[in-house]
Amino acid sequence: MGRTLIHGKATDMDNTRTALKIREQLVRFLGIFSPHFPRPDVKFIGEMVYGLQAAGNVKLSCIGRALDEDIPIGKTENRLSRNLAGEGMADMVLRVIAEEGARHVGKDTFIAVDPTDLQKLYAEKMPYLAPVRDGDTGEIGWGFNCLAAVACEAGSRKIVPLHWRLWSCAAPGFVSENEEIFAAVKGIAAYARKRGIYLLDRGGDRDIVFEHFLENSLRFIIRLVGNRHLEFKGKKHLASELARTCPATYRETVIRETDKGERRYTLELGERLVRLPGREEALRMVVIRGYADEPMILLTNVEGTNSQKGLRLILDGYLSRWRVEDTIRFVKQSYDLEDIRLLDYTRLRNMVTLVLAAAYFASTWIGRSLRREILARNITRMSKRFFGVAEFCYYAMADGIATLCRRYGRWKGLGGLLETPDPQLELPLFDTT
């Protein structure tokens, strides 16, 4: 028999039970895919999600070892590689995750949309490598572009990954980065029934992007570049000029966790009502001073007033963009995504969306209900991190799941009829009223 709980410490029996619960929850999680995929494909998705969680790495050899099957590792790796070549898998996985994740998007939930990259500086044989800008250093290297979307609430540490898609401008059929953004937003908006407020950084300051949001009645907060022209009181002005003369009506102190510790900002906020040239919609230009040397300029169609409450919503929205940056780092580091070594474009795109599914399982599915919150606490305990679990707890979640999967049991497959969880038993992450 297993040992019992001694002096508040978990025993092997407790850890075995937690590992079993993880595998049970993964089988339930696979139920969201079963209406859209044949059973062999659902089985494969289960193997990949479990292997990614246990291995913490995207290499098929690592995933195969994590599955620990009673056959030679080469046969496991060949099977995974063969199934990973399925046409249309990436698009369908994205649809399923967007549909499931959109259930947690409320009226004022922020949806941060952000481009990122996968640097592959030495992978000369990978298909359709193209110049990409490193988001951390700003240098141009070789690799692939990606687009991520994450839902979050202001002031909440909970995230819902909604989208992560790889693309290359050198691949056949590629249209533009704008089309990648529109496809992601369109899919999320359809399932979320146009709830939520979309957040984009300065890369979203494009006429075609504003037109897409306005013509589809979607709310947005987009950071402007200084040379953007806006109409104010019937005359055209540069956004930078309007920002310099915009009076501050509200002051706020915010703290951001960085790699070097906490950083405190004292911000001053003000706004002006403006229009985009050639359009009739009244928009709000919100100016934030104190975050950088130059004022930060945000353009939004979110209704509000030049008051503390009205400006705070816009500030909270933009600061929530940090969550997508945190999520991108979490996904890349927890699954060693930039170590991807596949030599087929379809396999590359499928692998990235399966990593999205694994991240969704770890960050959102586990802990979504009251009962799973208990499971989540047991998992993060296994990460054994110094100084406890940080506010952005998903690294600890991924580490804990990996430890439990590797040490206590192994993946047994679907284990019976797949069932979609009863939604009445679940508690939503965000208010959807």
User: Under a CB-based contact definition with an 8 Å cutoff, are residues 321 and 135 in contact?
Assistant: no
- Residue 164 CA to residue 329 CA, distance in Å, equals 13
Residue 11 is predicted with a pLDDT of 74
Q: Whole-prediction pTM value? A: 0.86
- Residue 343 CA to residue 227 CA, distance in Å, equals 42
For residue 253, the surrounding DSSP H or E stretch is: strand 250-258
- Domains delineated in the chain: 1-83+367-433 (no CATH), 90-326 (3.90.350.10)
Structure tokens at 271: 């706004």
User: Under a CB-based contact definition with an 8 Å cutoff, are residues 98 and 191 in contact?
Assistant: yes
Residue 17 is predicted with a pLDDT of 84
User: Under a CB-based contact definition with an 8 Å cutoff, are residues 110 and 153 in contact?
Assistant: yes
Q: How does pLDDT run along the chain (433 residues), one tens digit per residue?
A: 344 444 445 577 777 888 888 889 999 999 999 999 999 999 999 999 999 999 999 999 999 999 999 999 999 999 999 999 999 999 999 999 999 999 999 999 999 999 999 999 888 899 999 999 876 677 889 999 999 999 998 877 788 999 999 999 999 999 999 999 999 999 999 999 999 999 999 999 999 999 999 999 999 999 999 899 999 999 999 999 999 999 999 888 887 766 666 778 889 999 999 999 999 999 999 999 988 888 999 999 999 877 888 898 898 888 888 778 888 888 999 999 999 999 999 999 999 999 999 999 988 998 654 344 544 454 444 444 333 334 456 667 777 788 778 887 788 887 644 444 444 334 334 444 4
Residue 377 is predicted with a pLDDT of 53
For residue 342, the surrounding DSSP H or E stretch is: none
- Residue 345 CA to residue 129 CA, distance in Å, equals 10
Residue 5 is predicted with a pLDDT of 43
Largest CA distance in the chain: 80
Structure tokens at 143: 């690799």
What torsion do the CA atoms of 193, 197, 200, 201 make, to the nearest 10 degrees? Answer: -170
Cα end-to-end distance, the chain, whole Å: 48
Listed in sequence order, the residues at least 6 apart from 128 whose beta carbon sits closer than 8 Å to its beta carbon are: 144, 168, 170, 171, 345
Residue 256 is predicted with a pLDDT of 72
Residue 258 is predicted with a pLDDT of 65
Residue 195 is predicted with a pLDDT of 96
